Amino acid sequence: MNDKNRIYLFDTTLRDGEQSPGVSLNVEEKVEIAQQLARLGVDIIEAGFPIASPGDFQAVKAIARSVKGPIIAGLCRATRADIDRTWEAVKYAESPRIHTFLASSDIHLKYKLQKSREEVLVQAVEAVKYARQFCPDVEFSAEDATRSDLDYLIELVEAVIAAGATVVNLPDTVGYSVPDEFGRFMKTIIERVPNSDKAIFSVHCHDDLGMAVANSLAGISNGARQIECAVNGIGERAGNASLEEIIMALYTKHAFYQKELNIKYDEIYRTSRLVSTLTGMVVQPNKAIVGSNAFAHESGIHQDGVLKERTTYEIMSPELVGVFKNNLVLGKHSGRHAFKARLAELGYDLSDEELQKAFVKFKDLADKKKEISNDDIEALVKEQGRAIPERFSLEYLHISSGTNMIPTATVRLCIDGMPFEAAATGSGSMEAACQAVDKITDIYGRLLEYKLHAVTGGKDALGEVLSKVEIEDKIYNGRGLSTDIIEASVKSYIHAINRHYYEKQLVNNQGS
pLDDT of residue 1: 36
Amino acid in position 256: F
* Arithmetic mean of pLDDT over the chain: 90
Closest by alpha carbon to 478, among 507, 449, 504?
A: 449
Position 334 pLDDT exceeds 60: yes
Mean pLDDT, residues 121-138 taken together: 98
User: In angstroms, rounded to a whole number, what is the distance separating the alpha carbons of residues 295 and 176?
Assistant: 31
In tens, the pLDDT along 446-496 reads 999 898 988 877 777 888 898 999 999 888 888 898 989 999 999 999 999
pLDDT score of 297 = 54
CATH classification of 3-279 is 3.30.2130.30, yes or no? no
Q: Which residue, among 153, 128, 154, has the nearest Cα to 140 in the 3D structure?
A: 128
| 136 CB neighbour count, 10 Å cutoff | 12
Instruction: List pLDDT tens digits, range 93-112.
Output: 999 999 999 999 999 999 99
3-state secondary structure string across 9-35: EEECCCCCHHHCCCCCCCHHHHHHHHH
CA distances from 13 to 106, 155, 223, 398 (A): 28, 31, 24, 40
User: Which amino acid is it at 52?
Assistant: A
Signed CA dihedral, 123, 128, 134, 138: sign only: positive
Q: What confidence score (pLDDT) does residue 305 get?
A: 63
Q: Cα dist. 397→261, 383, 425, 501 in Å?
A: 50, 19, 13, 22
Distance from chain centroid for Cα 303: 33
| Cα 221 off chain centre by | 26
What are the tens digits of pLDDT across the range 141-169? 999 999 999 999 999 999 999 999 999 99
Let me know if domain 392-511 sits in CATH 3.40.50.1370.
no
Best CA proximity match to 73, nearest among 224, 204, 162: 204
CA distance 416 to 434: 20
Q: What is the pLDDT of residues 226-236, one digit of tens each?
A: 999 999 999 99
Predicted confidence (pLDDT) at residue 387 exceeds the cutoff of 60: no
- How does DSSP classify residue 212? H
> Is 84:125 a contact under the CB 8 Å cutoff?
no
Instruction: Provide the b/e sequence for 420-450 (b: ≥16 CB within 10 Å).
Output: eebebebeebbebbbbbbbbbbebebebeee
Residue 162 has phi, psi (to 5 degrees) of -60, -30
Q: What is the pLDDT of residues 237-289, one digit of tens each?
A: 999 999 999 999 999 999 999 999 999 999 999 999 899 988 888 899 899 99
The residue extents of the domains of the chain are: 3-279, 324-384, 392-511
pLDDT of residue 322: 87
> What are the b/e assignments for 201-220, b being 16+ CB within 10 Å?
bbbbbbbbbebbbbbbbbbb
In whole angstroms, what separates CA 471 from the centre of its chain? Answer: 23
Q: What is the pLDDT of residue 356?
A: 86
Whether 23 and 235 have beta carbons less than 8 Å apart is answered as no
Residue 385 has a pLDDT of 57
